[in-house]
Amino acid sequence: MKIVACNSNLPLARAVAHELRMPLCKTVVKRFADGEVFVEIQENVRGEDVFVVQSTCMPTNDHLMELLVMLDALRRGSAKRVTAVMPYFGYARQDRKSGPRTPISAKLVANLLTEAGANRILTMDLHAMQIQGFFDIPTDNLYAAPLFVRDLKTRLPDRELIIVSPDVGGVVRARQLAQRLNVDLAIIDKRRERAGVSEVMNVIGDVAGRYCVLVDDIVDSGGSLCNAANALMARGAEGVEAYVTHGVLTGNACQRVKDSPLNMLTLTDSIPATEALLETPNIRQITTANLLARAMSAVADESSVSSLFD
């Protein structure tokens, strides 16, 4: 078993390697003067079970290309099996035709990864569960919910919590977390007039006097999350914070979160922290290194991955 890291999330890759008590494979991932990606694996990988850790976060296309070239290099180096470990799967929001003559880019990326040489995919909190069906190779989708439950029980043991889904599409995710914590569920009913802009319409559920925890898979511009927090506070919530798996945080998202009623926004480290994130007092990260390490061990040992969530 060997662990290979590309450039998108080296801190997480090193943390995973530390959890597994093994070094990262020696590699070179660099660019030529014209921007072409060059990869060199400086260890023998023939017959090895190789795990490539790479989130396809911003700049998404560059990091995706790094991963594709690395997969090709490993295949040509005669690795026995190559697993692409993608804590954040870019293009996941393009999982259907949103209008006439539009692509299903998540399916395209799935095809590219398979053709490049991936034998298996290990990812976390896919934006849509059906993306697993886009792959013709085994795909394991991990969940951050157990990490969130553990963190909430540690940080907020005495609060009267209510889990809130920021939109109708996230109800299943929020309900699962509410069931794990044995608390109630509320839903934000919103209308999105255009991409990146949302308007909160209604809150379904009684949030008055209760501490609200918004749960989502991705925070991008932060508009929906902050609008939801404003709506909850306007309806008498004791306080609001959020737990989100992937912190994309484009543009002035960090400033928007800082200025919002959110007491805290908790993210995982599936996407590395930016300088703006580190300087925002009400944003924090929790690590997924142990979860990923255990899942990788299960894959290597041919044991159950789903048992990690029992």
**Helix segments in 85-222, DSSP class H:** 105-116, 145-155, 171-181
Q: Which two tokens stand for residue 17?
A: 């390697």
223 assigned to a ligand binding site: yes
Q: Rounded to an integer, what distance in angstroms lies between the CA atom of residue 80 and that of residue 255?
A: 46
Q: What distances in angstroms separate CA 124 from CA 38, 110, 150, 228, 275, one per listed residue? A: 27, 15, 17, 24, 24
Q: Which CATH class is domain 2-142+290-305?
A: alpha beta
Q: Which two tokens stand for residue 119?
A: 């034998």
101 assigned to a ligand binding site: no
| SS3 assignment, position 286 | strand
Q: Say if strands 81-86 and 211-219 run parallel, antiparallel, or are unpaired.
A: unpaired
Domain boundaries, the chain: 2-142+290-305, 145-287
Q: Which two tokens stand for residue 13?
A: 């890759």
Q: Rounded to an integer, what distance in angstroms lies between the CA atom of residue 125 and that of residue 263?
A: 24
224 assigned to a ligand binding site: yes
Q: Is 258 a catalytic residue?
A: no
Q: Tell me, what's the pLDDT at 1?
A: 93
Are 148 and 177 a contacting pair, CB within 8 Å?
yes
Note down pLDDT in tens along the chain; length 310 residues.
Answer: 999 999 999 999 999 999 999 999 999 999 999 999 999 999 999 999 999 999 999 999 999 999 999 999 999 999 999 999 999 999 999 999 989 999 999 999 999 999 999 999 999 999 988 899 999 999 999 999 999 999 999 999 999 999 999 988 899 999 999 999 999 999 998 776 666 565 667 899 999 999 999 999 999 999 889 999 999 999 999 999 999 999 999 999 999 999 999 999 999 999 999 999 999 999 999 999 999 999 999 999 999 998 887 6
189 assigned to a ligand binding site: no
Q: Which two tokens stand for residue 270?
A: 């599936």
| Type of residue numbered 114 | T
Number of helices followed by number of strands (H, E) in the chain: 9, 14
Q: How many residues does the chain have?
A: 310
Residues 6+ apart with CB under 8 A from 215: 148, 163, 164, 165, 166, 170, 173, 174, 177, 242, 243, 244
Helix (H) or strand (E) holding 217: strand 211-219
- Domain 145-287 sits in CATH at 3.40.50.2020
| SS3 assignment, position 76 | helix
Whether 145-287 and 2-142+290-305 are alike in CATH topology: the answer is yes
217 assigned to a ligand binding site: no
Q: Which two tokens stand for residue 46?
A: 């023939």
Angle between helices 145-155 and 171-181 (to 10 degrees): 50
72 assigned to a ligand binding site: no
| SS3 assignment, position 184 | strand
127 assigned to a ligand binding site: yes
Which of 30, 80, 97, 190 does the annotation list as catalytic? 190
Q: Which two tokens stand for residue 225?
A: 């999350």
196 assigned to a ligand binding site: no
Q: Residue for token digits 């034998």?
A: 119
Q: Rounded to an integer, what distance in angstroms lies between the CA atom of residue 37 and that of residue 62?
A: 8
310 assigned to a ligand binding site: no
Q: Tell me, what's the pLDDT at 254?
A: 97
239 assigned to a ligand binding site: no
Q: Tell me, what's the pLDDT at 293?
A: 97
